[in-house]
Structure formats: structure tokens, C-alpha cells
């Protein structure tokens, strides 16, 4: 059996309660006594039994994370940010992948509830409405970290997908592109994808370009799907001059297809991605994209969740992380003059 507080108490010659007080930094204990106890703790290499403490206090310092497709670079960084900030705030992480299946999500939700998690971060989104009901019912503090949730009660952290997608199309149209095709996400999937779609539509309307649903090819955020989407696009719409993929991996897949088939990028076809993953700086051509930080997203999610757990007053339960359009080699730059007309929107232009 492991060392318990009892052993520590005996060795230090004090009572259980005193040991407990020392361990919890209670002020009502004489320094001398505290010292004795600490010595005993060290000597026995005592480790607290978390289960007993949780049983008694009903708080676990555990945060649950349910995600899907977390192997994607952007989301892997999100997880990293979550982990780092959670550790910082004294939480441990219990992590489950739902594969985007509602049943698995429910399942993990149950497991996590049984473990008395203090809060939960949801990165999976397919069935977020159903999920929300369960979570609300469970009364566990929750933060969504993969899109804007309109329900005013639900806290979420996200990039402004609508604005970001708008920026992309705005830039492209100002650069003279009139025939643009899009590689979107699975219809059932990420909220983010739907929001990006909204941003695109908005920008098209403002540029007085027609909206043609046929030009939105569905991908699943993988390289492979970007590759085959590009193939479909070029076959169906040979007059296309630009492709906007809703994430960087699909954009890279599309670039591979285009170059393989003799298209010059950006001169024949301009390509834009979304997310700003590291890879985009090392492709040839380098990738124009919307840069957002997954790490930041994770960090902010924990920050928000922590406040909710601590029942602090929130300024706002909808948090946006910054994004920038980073213009690299995969599209032609706007001239300084053209650029000036949108300068106010803080579009970053760089070769980096």
C-alpha cells in the first residue's frame, strides 16, 4: 500500500488534521509544526491520494478535452496550447477523441462526468447542439473552441471565420480574380467551415460576383481531398483563376495537383489556404493563407474556462482570436495603390 497521511502524521508526531492543514497551506499552523510535517512528507515521499480528495471536495482540477481530427496540424497546436495553459493554471487534462461521432462524444462526456472534471473544452462540432444539451444538463462549465456558437449562454473561443474568409475573397477580387473556386469542408463538419462559407458569400456579393454553389467542392481537410478537389475543379471549370481552400492542407494538396498538371502558380491559378500552419512557409510556392494561432486558441480557451470555473465575472463569453491574411507566393500581390484601399482592414502583406 502507498504512504498515506496517517503515516506522515505518525512520523511527524501530529494528528491527521494537522497534516491536512499543512498540505493545504492553512495559516492556522505553527511554523515549527509545519516544518516537522513537511520533513516527514519528504522523507516518506508522500503523495496525496487524489481520489480521496476529490471524493471529499468534489473538485478534481481536471479538465476534459473532447476533440476530433486532432492530428491535423492546426488542431495539434490547439491541443498544445490547451495543455500548456492548463498546466500553468494547475489543471491536468483528460483527453478523448470523438472521431466526430456523437456516440463517442456522449461516452466521453459520461466518463468525464464520473471523474468529476471541473470543466470541459469541446473541439468537436458535428452534433454540437445535441452536445450542448447534455453539457447543460450536466452543469459542467464548458467552452467551445471550434467555431462561433450563437447560443448566448455558451462560451466559445474562435477566430472570426466570416471576416477572415471575407478578407481572402476581397483580396482576390481586388486583384482581379472573377472566376474563383472553393474547397470547403464536409457539410456535416466544422462550424468553422460553414462560417467561412458565409464570409465567402458576403464578399462575392459585395464584389458583385455571382454565387455559384457548384464551385464549392467538398473536401475533408486532408491533403488528399484537396488534391482531388482541385482535379474536379479544373475539369469542370477550366476558366478558374483562383482557388480558395478552407484549410492549408487542402490548399497544399491542390497545389500539388496543379503543378503536376502544368499550371503555373500563381500566374495561371492563385491558391489560398486557411490556418497558417508552419508547412505553408516551406512549400513551393509558399502558401498564402489566413494565419491564426491554434496555440493561442487553446490558451484562450483554458483562460476562459478557468474564469468560468472560478465563477469570475466575464467580460464576454465570446472570445475572438486574431487572424491575418498572409500573402505569400501562391497569389499575386496587389499593387500598393490597390492595397491602400483595404489598408484599414489590417491585412498583413509579407513574403515571410
Partner DNA sequence: TTGTACGCGTTATCAA
Partner DNA sequence: TTGATAACGCGTACAA
Q: Are 241 and 269 in contact (CB under 8 A)?
A: yes
Q: Which of 95, 102, 237, 263 binds its own copies (CB under 8 A)?
A: 95
String of contacts with DNA for each residue 117-156, x by CB under 7 A = ----------------------------------------
Which segment (53-61, 187-195, 267-275, 293-301) binds DNA by CB under 7 A?
Answer: 53-61
By CB under 8 A, tell whether 346 contacts its own copies: no
By CB under 7 A, tell whether 49 contacts DNA: yes
String of contacts with its own copies for each residue 241-260, x by CB under 8 A = -----------xx-xx--xx
Which segment (33-41, 85-93, 162-170, 336-344) binds its own copies by CB under 8 A?
Answer: 85-93
Q: Which of 104, 201, 324, 333 binds its own copies (CB under 8 A)?
A: 104
> Total residues at the site for DNA (CB under 7 A)?
29
Question: What's the rounded Cα separation, in Å, for the pair 312 and 304?
Answer: 10
Which segment (31-39, 141-149, 260-268, 321-329) binds DNA by CB under 7 A?
Answer: 31-39
Number of C-beta neighbours around residue 132 at 10 A: 17
Question: Which residues are within 8 A (CB) of 189 and not within 5 positions of it... i.e. 6 or more apart?
Answer: 100, 125, 126, 220, 221
By CB under 8 A, tell whether 49 contacts its own copies: yes
By CB under 8 A, tell whether 16 contacts its own copies: no
By CB under 7 A, tell whether 340 contacts DNA: no
β-bridge pairing 288-291 and 324-326: antiparallel
Nearest to 127 by CA among 107, 151, 108, 106: 106
* CB-nearer residue toward DNA: 21 or 323: 21
* CB-nearer residue toward its own copies: 31 or 45: 45
16 binds, among its own copies, DNA, none (CB under 5 to 8 A by kind): DNA
Q: Are 255 and 268 in contact (CB under 8 A)?
A: no
Question: What's the rounded Cα separation, in Å, for the pair 170 and 155?
Answer: 30
Residue 64 bridge partners (DSSP): 94, 120
Q: Are 94 and 112 in contact (CB under 8 A)?
A: yes
By CB under 8 A, tell whether 338 contacts its own copies: no
Question: Which residues are within 8 A (CB) of 254 and not within 5 positions of it... i.e. 6 or more apart?
Answer: 183, 226, 227, 229, 230, 233, 243, 245, 271
By CB under 7 A, tell whether 316 contacts DNA: no
Question: What's the rounded Cα separation, in Å, for the pair 270 and 205?
Answer: 20
Question: Which residues are within 8 A (CB) of 312 and not within 5 positions of it... i.e. 6 or more apart?
Answer: none
Instruction: Show the cell assigned to 315.
Output: 467580460
Q: Which of 9, 11, 40, 96 binds its own copies (CB under 8 A)?
A: 96
Question: What's the rounded Cα separation, in Å, for the pair 135 and 102?
Answer: 13
CB of 82 to its own copies, least distance (A): 10
Number of C-beta neighbours around residue 3 at 10 A: 16
Which spans of this chain sit near DNA (rule: CB under 7 A)? 1-2, 4-6, 13-18, 20-21, 23-24, 28-30, 32-34, 46, 48-49, 52-53, 55-57
Amino acid at each position: 500500500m502507498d504512504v498515506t497521511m496517517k503515516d506522515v502524521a505518525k512520523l511527524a508526531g501530529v494528528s491527521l488534521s494537522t497534516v491536512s492543514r499543512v498540505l493545504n497551506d492553512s495559516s492556522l499552523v505553527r511554523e515549527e509544526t509545519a516544518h516537522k510535517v513537511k520533513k516527514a512528507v519528504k522523507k516518506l515521499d508522500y503523495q496525496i491520494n487524489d481520489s480521496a480528495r476529490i471524493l471529499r471536495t468534489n473538485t478534481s482540477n481536471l479538465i476534459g478535452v473532447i476533440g476530433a481530427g486532432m492530428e491535423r496540424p492546426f488542431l495539434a497546436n490547439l491541443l498544445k496550447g490547451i495543455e500548456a495553459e492548463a498546466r500553468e493554471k494547475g489543471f491536468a487534462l483528460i483527453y478523448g477523441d470523438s472521431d466526430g461521432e456523437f456516440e463517442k462524444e456522449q461516452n466521453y462526456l459520461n466518463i468525464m462526468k464520473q471523474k468529476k472534471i471541473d470543466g470541459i473544452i469541446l473541439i468537436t462540432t458535428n452534433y454540437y447542439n445535441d452536445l450542448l444539451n447534455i453539457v447543460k444538463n450536466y452543469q459542467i462549465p464548458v467552452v467551445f473552441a471550434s467555431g462561433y456558437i450563437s447560443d448566448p449562454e455558451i462560451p466559445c473561443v474562435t477566430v472570426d471565420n466570416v471576416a477572415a474568409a471575407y478578407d481572402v475573397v476581397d483580396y482576390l477580387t481586388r486583384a482581379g480574380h472573377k472566376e474563383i473556386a472553393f474547397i470547403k469542408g464536409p457539410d456535416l463538419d466544422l462550424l468553422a467551415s460553414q462560417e467561412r462559407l458565409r464570409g465567402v458569400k458576403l464578399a462575392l456579393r459585395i464584389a458583385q460576383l455571382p454565387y455559384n454553389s457548384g464551385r464549392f467542392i467538398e473536401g475533408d481537410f486532408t491533403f488528399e481531398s484537396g488534391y482531388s478537389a482541385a482535379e474536379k475543379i479544373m475539369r469542370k471549370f477550366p476558366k478558374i483563376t483562383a482557388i480558395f481552400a478552407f484549410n492549408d492542407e487542402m490548399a497544399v494538396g491542390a497545389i500539388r495537383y496543379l503543378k503536376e498538371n502544368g499550371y503555373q502558380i500563381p500566374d495561371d491559378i492563385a491558391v489560398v489556404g486557411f490556418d497558417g500552419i508552419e508547412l505553408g512557409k516551406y512549400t513551393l510556392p509558399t502558401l498564402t493563407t489566413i494565419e491564426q494561432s491554434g496555440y493561442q486558441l487553446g490558451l484562450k480557451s483554458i483562460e476562459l474556462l478557468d474564469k468560468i470555473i472560478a465563477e469570475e465575472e466575464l467580460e464576454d463569453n465570446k472570445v475572438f482570436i486574431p487572424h491575418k491574411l498572409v500573402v505569400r507566393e501562391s497569389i499575386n500581390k496587389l499593387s500598393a495603390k490597390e492595397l491602400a484601399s483595404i489598408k484599414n482592414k489590417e491585412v498583413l502583406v509579407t513574403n515571410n
